[in-house]
Amino acid sequence: MGTKALVKQEFEGNLLSPLPIVLVGAMVNNQPNYLVIGYSSPFDFGKYIFISLYKKRYTRIGIHENRTFSVNIPSEDLLAETNICGSKSGRDFNKGSLFDTFYGDLKTAPMIRQCPINMECEVTEILDYNPNEGIIGRVVKSYADPRCITDGKLDWRKVHPIIWATGGDFNYYRLGERISQKKSKTD
Ligand SMILES: Cc1cc2nc3c(=O)[nH]c(=O)nc-3n(C[C@H](O)[C@H](O)[C@H](O)COP(=O)(O)O)c2cc1C
């Protein structure tokens, strides 16, 4: 590769992308409410999840009140419901009515039965980045649809997550093919 190939186009801001979108759930006024979060990240080897939340979000009321939330990974077939969760506020529309809700160990972190992956989280820290907040939750327990499991292991190709590209693109994509083959412990 010649040095010319190393010339870069500069961009403003973050290009850590693409990422799966998630539906974050919380109890607000005794009703489950869900919103789309594009800016989320696992950290500390996945023991915690970080979400970036605008202070004006209706969901935030429930997260602050109960100090719990859920993270649900929708599959492609939930695109229509996901679009509603990302465009309408729980202030104006009962988004809990779009799904069957279930609860785990934390009784105040509503989870979506139709989503193949769910995690219940308890808030450990809230960072003030006005007008946003960085909310950190410890993953208390995770759940997967048994139909997404192959030979006892979670098979992401069966989850069909909705992948969101940022950096000016802002479209959704689907997960591509597997390009590596890790040996399992039993091999
Ligand atoms: C692709 C996508 C990504 C989004 N990411 C975020 C995000 O990271 N943080 C946030 O506060 N809102 C985000 N939103 C916006 C909220 O999902 C949206 O405003 C929602 O209607 C708020 O619902 P609520 O008022 O019931 O909480 C995103 C929306 C879309 C469509």
Q: CATH number of the domain that 44 lies in?
A: 2.30.110.10
Domain membership of residue 165 (yes or no) is yes
89 CA to centre of ligand 1 in angstroms: 9
Domain range for 168 is: 18-174
| Buried/exposed 20-38: b ≥16 CB within 10 Å, e otherwise | bbbbbbbbbeeebbbbbbb
Please tell me the total count of domains within the chain.
1
- The dihedral region occupied by 13, where left means phi > 0, alpha psi between -120 and 50, and beta the remainder, is left
- 90 CB within 6 A, ligand 1: yes
Beta strand 19-20 pairing with 48-54: unpaired
152 CA to centre of ligand 1 in angstroms: 34
158 CA to centre of ligand 1 in angstroms: 25
Domain membership of residue 185 (yes or no) is no
Per-residue model confidence as pLDDT tens digits over 28-71: 999 999 999 999 999 999 999 999 999 999 999 999 999 999 99
Q: Is the pTM value of this prediction over 0.85?
A: yes
**Rounded-to-integer distance, Cα 104 and Cα 110, Å:** 8
Domain membership of residue 140 (yes or no) is yes
